């Protein structure tokens, strides 16, 4: 999530600089229209849950019966997790798939709102 927020902050800074200088704003607006990738948001939420429980990747990967490397890639948003895999990871984290998806949905809505602010500058 920090990486996405840093990229968004950078995009906002560029947009503000362009507005202040009178330069065209097409580049920042185009950057702001980049899609929000669910695999990144899901990975961020899973990492947050794991760290909130003070658990290691190794502990969760064993409990979920998922390889350590694959779980790491899912958390970093590099791999799309199947619904079966997500259910297994959620079980290992003592949360429901529906609770994870509610949190993901809220995060996506928050990111979309930030992008809307950029577009209306």
Confidence of residue 115 (pLDDT cuts 50, 70, 90): confident
How would you class 42 by CB atoms within 10 Å of its CB: exposed for 0-12, middle for 13-18, buried for 19 or more?
A: buried
CATH topology of domain 36-119: 434 Repressor (Amino-terminal Domain) (1.10.260)
Q: What is the pLDDT of residues 39-98, one digit of tens each?
A: 999 999 999 999 999 999 999 999 999 999 999 999 999 999 999 999 999 999 999 999
pLDDT tier for residue 27 given thresholds of 50, 70 and 90: very low
Question: Binning pLDDT at 50, 70 and 90, where does residue 113 land?
Answer: confident
Distance of CA 58 to the CA centre of its chain: 21
Higher pLDDT, 17 or 54: 54
CA distance 31 to 15: 10
Number of neighbouring beta carbons within 10 Å of residue 2: 7
- What end-to-end distance do the CA atoms of the chain give, in Å? 23
């Amino acid at each position: 999530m920090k990486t996405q927020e840093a990229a968004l902050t950078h995009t906002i800074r560029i947009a503000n600089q362009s507005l202040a200088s009178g330069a065209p704003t097409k580049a920042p607006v185009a950057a702001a229209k980049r899609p929000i990738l669910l695999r990144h948001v899901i990975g961020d939420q899973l990492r947050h849950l794991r760290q909130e429980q003070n658990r290691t990747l190794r502990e969760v990967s064993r409990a979920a019966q998922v390889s350590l490397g694959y779980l790491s890639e899912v958390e970093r948003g590099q791999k799309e997790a199947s619904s079966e895999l997500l259910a297994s990871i959620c079980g290992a984290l003592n949360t429901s798939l529906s609770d994870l998806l509610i949190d993901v949905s809220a995060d996506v809505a928050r990111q979309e709102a930030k992008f809307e602010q950029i577009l209306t500058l």
